[in-house]
Every structure is written in structure tokens, then in C-alpha cells.
Chain A
Amino acid sequence: MDNVIITRNEPTFIGLSNYAEILSEDTFHQALEHTLFLATLSVIAHFILGLSFALLLNTNLVSGGVKAIFRVVYILPWVFTASIIAILWRLLLNPNGVVNYLLIEFNLVSQPIEWLSSRQLALYTVTFINIWAGYPFYMVSFLAGLQGIPDDLYEAGKIDGANGPQLFRFITLPQLKPIISSLAVLDFIWTTHQFTLIWMTTGGGPIRATEVLSTYTYKLAFSSYEFSLASTTAMLILLLSSVLAVFYVRNQRLAND
């Protein structure tokens, strides 16, 4: 196995036929769809959670010491590596685990739910875990961004008679806009690469229900030993990331001007 990609001494050029083969695969289409679903939903939820937590941590209503403790707790998911997060959620979401126990206890469901091994739910569950794991990065960036908004703007807004939601809509959000767009693009790129979390929670299963581009590539290479096809999907991931990276760079330029 170790030598399978270096023993072929005379590679032959086959043009784009690997790309034609991959692009006609149903599995590839599914993996692409799952990846885009996972990334889109994660970015939206990360944004909402990250901003809400940052706003909560930025109020004057609670003392600084209390906020410092809450901040550390809120950052916790970010301190753990993906393989540990995967194991932890497998424990929590186990059919006999504590999440199902609470749901049954509060009469929200009547039977334990197979969160990670049901074909209908697995993709949503994995997305939820990815949301839990990823929002602190947004929160920390938004906190820094919020602290950078000059108080004068709010004072001026209030003199003009704006209420809380209006201040938020017309001052806070526009001021955070450069951070929001950079974060969204970066996060989208990172989530399209996410491998560990999916590999260790579902392994792409059950029956490909959570197969994403990265697990698909890994399986092509190290389960089917189709190194050339795996390289093709890897190149397609790179292409997807590059397109997104172009947006990111353009965004940065606009923000810096």
C-alpha cells in the first residue's frame, strides 16, 4: 500500500478524463451538496451565535469580572480539537446518552433518537456539532470589532432619536460589515475542508448521508486506492477554495481602502 503511488514509474497523460469521471459520479454530487449545505448553514449559525454572544458580553449591564468568566466559558468549544469534540458529541448524542434523556424527560420526544446513525438526521446533527465547535472564532472577532466602534457614533445616534434596535441596525451592523464578510468567507473555506469532525462522528455515513468532499477524497485515496481520482477531487476542492479566496482578497482590498 505504501508504494502504490510511487511504483508506477511511467505515468501516462490522460487529459481530463479523471475530471469527466468524477464530475459524472453521483457520489461526488452528493458530497458537493452536503459540503455546501454544511458550510452555508454553519456560516449563518456561526454569525448569529457569534454576534449574539459578543453583544451579550459587550453590555454595561453586567460587571467586568462576571463577563470575563462568561467569556472563557463561551470560548471553551474553540479550545478543544475536532477529534475530541467528535468523541464528546458521540457520547452526548448516543441513543442512551444525556441529550436523549433530557428530551424524553421533558416530553419533547417519545423515543431515543439516533442522531448520528439516522440517514435523515445525520447531516443536520453533524452541522450542529460544527456550529457548536466554530462560533467562538466569530464571537472573539466581533468582540474586538464592537470595542472598536467609537462611542460618539452611538451618542450622535441617540441625539437623533434612534432607539436600541435602530442603533444596532444603522451603526453596529454597518461598522462590523468588513469583519462579517471576511469571517463568512474564511469560515466557508474552512468548513469546506472540514475532515476530522465528520470522519470521527459519522465517517461520512450512514450510507453516505454525511459524505462531504474531504471524506470522499480521503476514501478514494485510502480505501479504494484511487489516488488519481482522489487528486482530481482534491483539485476541485482547491478550485472551490480559490474562487472563495479571490472574494476574500477583494474584500480585504475594499476594507483597506
Chain B
Amino acid sequence: MIRTTWPVQTKIMIKVLVVVGLLLGALFAGLPVLWMFASSFKSNTQIFAYPPKLIDSSFSLTAYREVITDPQQRRFFFNSYLISSLVTLSTLFVGIMAGYSFSRYEFRFKNILNIIIIGVQSVPPITLMIPYFGLIVSLKLYNTYWGLILTYMVFTLPYAIIMMTGYFNTLPRDLDEAVMIDGGSSSVILWRILVPISLPGIVSVGVYTFMLAWNEFLFALTLTKTNDMRTVPVGIQLLMGQHSFEWNQMMAMSVLGSLPVLILFLLFQRYFIAGMAAGSVKG
């Protein structure tokens, strides 16, 4: 970006400094992750072997096999996939419909509802932990999938509604009118016209929602009790036994537990970074 007319030697020196900086940064960011990956292929007795090696003689897929074949750990993954998928689908469904009505209709309390939605978004989850615990227990949803799904939607919906309203607002109303003249109802306008056009936006809201649900820890910990209802982030903690730590399995589970998010992130990097940047600049 900065092009200057410095002498060649200075230019080479700056280039060397930049490359060294880039490499140091990569070590800082990447080494811990590499170590996680390497440790997941070791045997548990070799985890703290002296001197430490990235790959040692105990290299095997045993830890992964143990995670995958263990019914309890499989259950953690099943729960995480089920809950995250249902949260994503429900959030998108409600978010699209709410966004549509906020964008296209005038109704009573519209402004107040808007303020509530934005307000809810800025309430820290830890503040809601106790009221939600009470609420979920009295609704008899404690230790159930729906308890978690409904709670997560409280955190995912505001973002989804705000984003969907924004996307629909950018689409001209002439589209709606053209469909109306052809005799289409408002559900035809929404699902046949507006939704297909705003698919990129819907995808990025979906990815965000899935990642939030997949990674959530506090409510997964407080609103479930039995191991068969735990999700991956809480499940990893359960591998920390009282006396022994199954480090290699914890690392294998961490790798497997990060894969969905990593894949989604790599596929939708562009959308995501643009959305994040817009969010931090415009709020």
C-alpha cells in the first residue's frame, strides 16, 4: 500500500522485516494449533514425553478411534449436530418471516419491538443464566433438547432478524407489487422471490447461527444435567477425569469438534469477514 522512493537496500531490509514479522505471527497463531493436531496422534503416555516431538513413535489414529467408537462421545457429537442444525433452521425460518414483516409492513408496537430485539442482543448471557434456568425448569424443559434450542434462539434470533430486515430493505418494493399484480400472495412474494434473491445473506446468517450454537458452553452446562444430553464443548470437559487426563482423546475430540466450524469458515470466509467488518464498523 505504501509505495516510497527509498533506496534499494532499505527496501530489501523492510521486505525482510515484513517476512520475519509474518513468520513470527504465524508461529504465534499456528504453533498451538499444530501442537493440538500433533498431540491427537500420540498415545496418552507420550503426551509429555521428554524431549517433546511433533511426531513420535506412538503415531496412530487410536485416539480418534476411541472417540468415534465410544458411545458417549458419539452422543456428544450427535447432540451438537442435532441442536445446532435445529437452531439454525428454526432461526432462519423465524428470522426470515420476522425480517419480512419488519421490512414490508407497518404494525402496532413495531418500534418498541425493534428496540426490544436490539436490546436483547446486548444483554450478557451470564445475566440471563439464572432467569433462564428458572424458566426452563418450570417449563419442564430442563435437560432436554428443546430447552437448549429455545434458549439459543434467544441469542441467535435478534441478529438474524436485524440482518434479514436489512437484506429485505435493500430489495425494491416494485418486486412485491409485480407479484401482487400477477395475483401472488405475500407468502409467494417472500418464499419464491425475496428469499431466493437474498440467499447469500441467508447463508451467512445461517453459518453465524450454526457456529454460535455449536460453540455455546454456559447454557449447555447449566441447562443440561445428564451426560446423554451434553454437547461437544461440555463433553470435552468431561474427559478431564479426577485423576487422569485423556489428553490425546481430548485433542482428537477438539480437532473433530472444530472441523464443522473450520469447514464452514473456509467455505464462507468471504461472506463472513465482510459481515464481521460491516458489523464492527456500522454496528
Contacts and interface: CB of A to CB of B under 8 A. Distances in A.
Given A5-B134, A84-B233, A76 B18 contact: no
A80 B129 contact: no
Contacts of A105: 51
Contact of A74 (B1, B25, B124): B25
Contacts of B7: none
B257 A81 contact: yes
Contacts of A52: 21, 25
A158 B4 contact: yes
Contacts of A227: 130, 134
B281 interface: yes
Interface string A179-210: 10011001001001101100110000000000
A218 B128 CA distance: 11
A81 B29 CA distance: 15
Interface size class of A (residues with CB under 8 A): 35 or more
A2 B218 contact: no
Interface in B16-55: 18-19, 21-22, 25-26, 28-30, 32-33, 35-36, 39, 47-48, 50-52
Interface stretch (B58-66, B86-94, B189-197, B261-269): B261-269
A143 B142 CA distance: 43
A239 B131 CA distance: 16
Contacts of A145: 277, 281
B36 A73 contact: no
B276 to A, nearest CB: 6
Interface string A217-256: 1100110000100110011011001100100110010011
B30 A76 contact: yes
Q: Which 4 A-B pairs have the closest CB atoms?
A: A144-B277, A81-B215, A96-B48, A83-B233
Contacts of A199: 217
A186 B279 CA distance: 11
Interface in A71-93: 72-77, 79-84, 87-89, 91-92
A183 B280 contact: yes
A254 B273 CA distance: 24
Contacts of B138: 6
Given A83-B217, A179-B280, 8 more contacts: A5-B137, A61-B19, A81-B215, A81-B217, A82-B215, A91-B47, A144-B281, A241-B122
Interface string B210-247: 00001101100010010000000110110010000001
Contacts of A61: 14-15, 18-19
B22 A62 contact: yes
A73 B26 contact: yes
Nearest to A234: B127
Interface residue range, chain B: 35 or more
B254 A237 contact: no
A70 B261 contact: no
Interface string A86-124: 011101101011100100010000000000000000000
Interface of B: 1-4, 14-15, 18-19, 21-22, 25-26, 28-30, 32-33, 35-36, 39, 47-48, 50-52, 122-127, 129-131, 133-134, 137-138, 142, 214-215, 217-218, 222, 225, 233-234, 236-237, 240, 247, 250-251, 254, 257-258, 261-262, 265-266, 269, 273-274, 276-277, 280-283
Given A87-B236, A196-B233, A2 B137 contact: yes
Given A137-B276, A182-B281, A70 B22 contact: yes
Nearest to B5: A158
**A interface: dominant SS:** helix
A248 B283 contact: yes
19 contacts: A5-B134, A6-B134, A60-B1, A60-B2, A61-B14, A61-B18, A62-B22, A76-B33, A80-B33, A81-B217, A81-B233, A81-B261, A84-B236, A87-B236, A87-B254, A140-B273, A154-B2, A167-B2, A193-B124
Interface of A: 2-3, 5-6, 52-53, 56-62, 70, 72-77, 79-84, 87-89, 91-92, 94, 96-98, 101, 105, 132, 136-137, 140-141, 143-146, 151, 154, 158, 163-164, 167, 178-179, 182-183, 186, 189, 192-193, 195-196, 199-200, 213-214, 217-218, 221-222, 227, 230-231, 234-235, 237-238, 241-242, 245, 248-249, 252, 255-256
Given A5-B133, A70-B25, A195 B126 contact: yes
A84 B29 contact: no
Contacts of B33: 76-77, 80, 88
A101 B51 contact: yes
